[in-house]
Structure 1
Amino acid sequence: MRKSPWKEDGVKRKIIWLLISLIIFCVLNSWLLSGTRKLIYLDAAILPEGQLKSWHNLGTLGGAFVPVFRNVPYVENIKGKKAVNLSGVDILLRSTFAPPGYLNGKQPFTITARVYVAELAQRQTILNWSQEPEKSAIFGLGKGLNAAFFNSDRLKVCFRGGYPQPREWHLITLVYDKQKLTLYVDGWFNAESQGQVNIKPGSFFYLGGQVAPGFPLPFDPFNGYLASLELLDTAYSPVEVWNASGHREAIPLYPAEGQMLGTLNVSLQWEKSDERANYFSIYFSSNRGEVEKGLAKAGKGNLGGDSHHLDISNLEPGKTYFWRVDQLDSKGQVLQPGIIRSFKIDDGSARNPVPHNLHGSVSRELNRLLWTPGPWATSQDVYFALDPKIVAKGKPAIKDLKPGLNSFFIPEKNLKYGETYYWRIDTQNGSGPSSPGQLWSFRVQDSPSDEDLTFFVVADLHYGSTVNSRDINRLMAKSMNSLPGQSYPEEFGLKGKVHTPRGVVVLGDIVDDGDSVEAEKFWQEYVEDFGLKGDKLLAFPVYEGFGEHDGASNGLVRTNLKNRNKLRPELKSISADGLHYSWDWGKVHFVQLNLYPGSVGEEYLNIWGRRFTGDARYPKHSLEFLIEDLRRNVGSSGRPVVIFQHYGFDSWSEAWWTQKERAAFLQAIQPYNVIAIFWGHSHVIQSLAWNGIKTWCAGTINNDPESGNYLVVNIKTGRRSGQMIVASRKAEKWASAEKFSFKMKKEPAKR
């Protein structure tokens, strides 16, 4: 009699479970004998493709991970590996077992995860077993300063050594040895943080995200593929991490790949990764091909298996060198060819010019140039002229300047408006070769005009958000400094050159978390980079407002804004609480309303169906300030008005303030000639019409790992009409532009 399909399936299930039980028994027995325990061991390779309702833990803690929400993950093949797809807005797995009490930071541990993500977010949580404030254990991936592991604001790890490349498989390893946290990517050291963690284990492990009170979805979700995960009760050594990543070559430690060295001597350093290695064969040359082929001329001989470094001297400035370390067995046979690494020797030239190269708007009163001399300078020659050919081939303005001196006084007084000057520093290095300097230039600011206004608009700087956020913000400040004198994009139908801006308007979210203990640090970075009156890296006055990320009403950012508002020159009005303000440039009136135009702040549901909480969401009577400011400073003149705020008019922004508030705002400005509203928050450059008023979102200048955008605005005013250009700019190129006309005086409404 033929067995029913149901009975056949039952037999198959029993066989599968017997095989899994046998695997678990063998693995556990091996771990117990070795003294190292894998507390959690998840391996997608043994899972069948399709829905995953339970992911069994092969580690010593047993149990499984099961879905928290209705949706369940799928097991799929992605780029040659079987993995669990944890992407999706509501996919989160929770353990059926509790974290052991000894995972509190008093014992070492190692976490490894083989992951694949399509793109990096600020933080994507892979595994966590505590979300207790200042006692957390959150392991993940991303661009944020707490992305790799977060224990507290004092102790966290980020991918400071470089982000894992999206759309590739990576093995992320975190090692805690009771003294520090060390992060590795694919076996390579990435970053570390010194200190002992203090963890308060929660009731469960969570895989693929965090849980937040009142939040119906995973918080900081992983949104990627997980092929395997291990949590061990020991601290892996660097060699164990290297080997677990599939490497058997000697570990090259120093110099790091691409490192720039300011010395003519170097000590190559490495570590053995194969216990069978009795010797090391070293290859070193400025010719990569010689090292790749292992030519004798690149050979530096064989060293014993207990050797870890080789000293090399008399290197040449400006050259790139290549090296590799082969591991040899007792018979001198190559076990593993080494990995080729490169580094570069500083070329000895002067650097760090002030004003920075290509600066487009220095003051006419500039009287001194500064630089950093080269590391081996014995004397310096300074070249300066209006003609770059003279600087390139003429005689120096000063010859044989001592290496301890780093300044040059400009012979001219009151430099000419719009003129470009060129300069260079040639360096003599004693008995070594000289170092010709780079041709630097700067341009003097334009003559100001009340009929031809230029200003820049930036939004969402988010200092402290990601590893590269400050570097990118500084890059964009230099981009703004360099833009005056360059041509508007003809491909968008524009002509003429960008003039020196009257200022830079900042539309909020200056720091990423204005309520954090590190808010002051990141605020100071902003001040050092953007200044107030064109007195720091940014060459122009700034007119900033706050966003919801900048913290509460009595927080650091808003308090500092109040103090800065007292120092801004030529303001027309400041609100009673010191937050909102207005000013005139020429015939145009400008108003900074900070978060958005509102009164006390309406109660409303956010996009997740929950009520917003916290003081940071309140507009602080900006609408009342706007009404009174326009009455006093514009009145019935009909002259143009430009408004700045953080929240705007796309679907994302409109979820953060109510229709009732927008209606009240519209009613307040209808009698006036509002020609433009600029806003931020949404991180995407947009041009939208709102009730017949032109509005623009300035996007974000910080789109780590890439630069973002800023807006270049030019307003020409005449007697009866004006013309406005709004163009978006990335660090090195134009992205979009539009031009339109407006009336200089608003006609009274018809009755």
Structure 2
Amino acid sequence: MRGEKMVSAKSNSLNQYIGRKFKSFFLIFLFLTSIIFIDINTVDYGIEGCEKNTFEITENSNKTNVTFIAFGDSQHWDPTNRQNDYQVEALNNFNEILSWKDAGYDELGDISDIRGVIMAGDITQNGRDGRVFSNDEYGEFIQRYGLCGNKQLKYPIYEGYGNHDYYEWHDIFYRIPQDHPVIDSVAVRNEYRSNLTNIAPGMDGHYSWEWDNIHFIQLNLAPSDIVPAYEEGGFRNPHNALTFMKNDLDEYVVGTDKKVVLIAHYGPWEWREWDETQIENLCNVIEEYKPYIIGYIHGHSHSTKVYNWCDITIFNSGSPYHEGGIHSSYNEDLRGRFTLFNILQNETEDLRLIAVDVSWSADNYSEGDIESLDLQMKEWEGFPYEENIPN
């Protein structure tokens, strides 16, 4: 009897010990889970100081005169953050050193009234937003580029997502919820962009806006509706971009005298899931809207070039990410770059489109000395480019 009581007492003590351990483990689990939840859901989208768009579309009665900048592939991660510092420095100050005269357009004078900066995809290298000890690549983008001229870049930015912005690796805090936070960020920020005419539903992220009589459509990864078959959920899903493009053109452009510039990360050449069938389909759609579409700006290749495809002009817009491995081979002069545009209505009501390559080198850069970035407007891969567009 006495032995049974001792066994019972030991059993109770063991149960109490296990209970305390389980309770401690459970409390620790709840604590860590709450930290992870807060960490995942605390993202700075760079919207502080930006006003919500009211989507009030007004008829433009002014003569078209639009100056803007485009590039692709900021592609933030540790090896590129410094290159983006140089890019922002160049974007903010290049017109103190250069004028249109440096590209052969003396009559345009100083470079002024820059409406904004277009970024054609690949915001980050790995689609990471800093959750649970991962690198905050997206935070690095926000710190430099902001949204409405509210961070280091002094101009509004109209970014899109690219293939590198989808999270594909095996970090469970992205993989289990199948999150692609950098993709989603574009949609989150859309309601704070100025001059918008239209946004895609849900988290698709596509949007359009207008500067004077020029209608811009940001289509993010690619102008396609085809969802590729990858293991990772949502990986490189173009989110019905082609459908958005057609609907947007039908609603806001067809029947007007507006001209259209398309923006996407992929250019019209085959790459992995972006195949020739989709590219031909895009060309067929463009044919339907041929009087309106005057250009297509893309990134992805980390280089700069003007070329023709489907009877429209294509602008491969340059990148700050020009160093290291294969990226150096795309820029034989080893310079970071972006593209400067001006679209001007002339006396005959036609449009003159000018595109200029602007490049920089940090080889001899001295902090705060913009001249040491060696800013140039070069004859390079079809630039400077000029086209007369009948209205």
Q: Assess same fold via TM > 0.5.
A: yes
What letter corresponds to residue 481 of structure 1 in structure 2? Answer: N
In structure 1, the residue matched to 2:327 is: none
Please point out which of 505, 511, 519 is paired with 2:124: 511
Please point out which of 367, 382, 387 is paired with 1:741: 387
Sequence identity, in percent?
A: 26
Q: Which runs of 5+ in 2 are unaligned?
A: 1-61, 168-177, 325-333, 361-374
In structure 1, the residue matched to 2:64 is: 451
How far, CA to CA, are the matches of 2:64 and 2:237 in structure 1?
A: 37
Please point out which of 499, 522, 527 is paired with 2:142: 527
How far, CA to CA, are the matches of 2:302 and 2:215 in structure 1?
A: 26
What letter corresponds to residue 479 of structure 1 in structure 2? Answer: A
Report the Cα offset of residue 692 of structure 1: 1.1
Please point out which of 536, 543, 564 is paired with 2:189: 564
In structure 2, the residue matched to 1:727 is: 356
* Contact 1:462-1:702 at 8 Å conserved across structures: yes
How far, CA to CA, are the matches of 1:723 and 1:656 in structure 2?
A: 36
1:253-652 → structure 2 map (5 Å cutoff)? 451-466=64-79, 469-484=80-95, 486-488=97-99, 490=101, 492-495=103-106, 496-515=109-128, 521-552=136-167, 554-578=179-203, 579-601=205-227, 615-650=234-269
Secondary structure of the 2:235 match is: helix
* Contact 2:128-2:137 at 8 Å conserved across structures: no
For residues 659 and 730 of structure 1, do their structure 2 counterparts lie closer, same or farther at Cα, with a shift above 3 Å needed?
Answer: same
Q: Which runs of 5+ in 1 are unaligned?
A: 1-448, 604-610, 746-751
How far, CA to CA, are the matches of 2:179 and 2:388 in structure 1?
A: 40
How far, CA to CA, are the matches of 2:274 and 2:120 in structure 1?
A: 16
* Contact 2:103-2:378 at 8 Å conserved across structures: no
Report the Cα offset of residue 556 of structure 1: 1.4
Secondary structure of the 1:703 match is: coil
In structure 2, the residue matched to 1:328 is: none
Report the Cα offset of residue 538 of structure 1: 0.4
The structure that has the greater radius of gyration is 1
In structure 2, the residue matched to 1:660 is: 277
How many residue pairs were aligned? 286
How far, CA to CA, are the matches of 1:713 and 1:690 in structure 2?
A: 19
How far, CA to CA, are the matches of 2:83 and 2:63 in structure 1?
A: 32
In structure 2, the residue matched to 1:404 is: none
Residue 690 in structure 1 maps to residue 336 in structure 2? no
Secondary structure of the 1:670 match is: helix
* Contact 1:513-1:519 at 8 Å conserved across structures: no
Report the Cα offset of residue 545 of structure 1: 0.2
1:93-242 → structure 2 map (5 Å cutoff)? none
Tell which has more relative contact order, 1 or 2 (C-alpha 8 A, sep 6+): 2
Report the Cα offset of residue 508 of structure 1: 1.0
Secondary structure of the 1:688 match is: strand
What letter corresponds to residue 198 of structure 2 in structure 1? Answer: S
In structure 2, the residue matched to 1:370 is: none
Report the Cα offset of residue 515 of structure 1: 4.8
How far, CA to CA, are the matches of 2:231 and 2:359 in structure 1?
A: 33
* Contact 1:687-1:696 at 8 Å conserved across structures: yes
Secondary structure of the 1:730 match is: strand
Moved more, 496-505 or 663-672: 663-672
In structure 2, the residue matched to 1:62 is: none
In structure 1, the residue matched to 2:20 is: none
For residues 464 and 456 of structure 1, do their structure 2 counterparts lie closer, same or farther at Cα, with a shift above 3 Å needed?
Answer: same
For residues 693 and 613 of structure 1, do their structure 2 counterparts lie closer, same or farther at Cα, with a shift above 3 Å needed?
Answer: farther
For residues 711 and 530 of structure 1, do their structure 2 counterparts lie closer, same or farther at Cα, with a shift above 3 Å needed?
Answer: same
* Contact 1:486-1:498 at 8 Å conserved across structures: no
How far, CA to CA, are the matches of 1:725 and 1:576 in structure 2?
A: 34
How far, CA to CA, are the matches of 2:78 and 2:390 in structure 1?
A: 42
Report the Cα offset of residue 615 of structure 1: 2.8
RMSD of aligned C-alpha atoms? 2.4
Report the Cα offset of residue 559 of structure 1: 2.1
How far, CA to CA, are the matches of 1:638 and 1:612 in structure 2?
A: 45
Please point out which of 339, 356, 365 is paired with 1:711: 339
What letter corresponds to residue 690 of structure 1 in structure 2? Answer: W
How far, CA to CA, are the matches of 1:639 and 1:671 in structure 2?
A: 15
* Contact 1:550-1:616 at 8 Å conserved across structures: no
1:7-46 → structure 2 map (5 Å cutoff)? none
More helix, by proportion: 2
Secondary structure of the 2:95 match is: coil
Q: Please report the TM-score for the alignment, with normalisation by the length of structure 1.
A: 0.36
For residues 682 and 717 of structure 1, do their structure 2 counterparts lie closer, same or farther at Cα, with a shift above 3 Å needed?
Answer: same
For residues 489 and 503 of structure 1, do their structure 2 counterparts lie closer, same or farther at Cα, with a shift above 3 Å needed?
Answer: closer
What letter corresponds to residue 127 of structure 2 in structure 1? Answer: G
Report the Cα offset of residue 481 of structure 1: 0.8
Moved more, 501-510 or 490-499: 490-499
How far, CA to CA, are the matches of 1:728 and 1:560 in structure 2?
A: 29
What letter corresponds to residue 457 of structure 1 in structure 2? Answer: A
What letter corresponds to residue 214 of structure 2 in structure 1? Answer: V
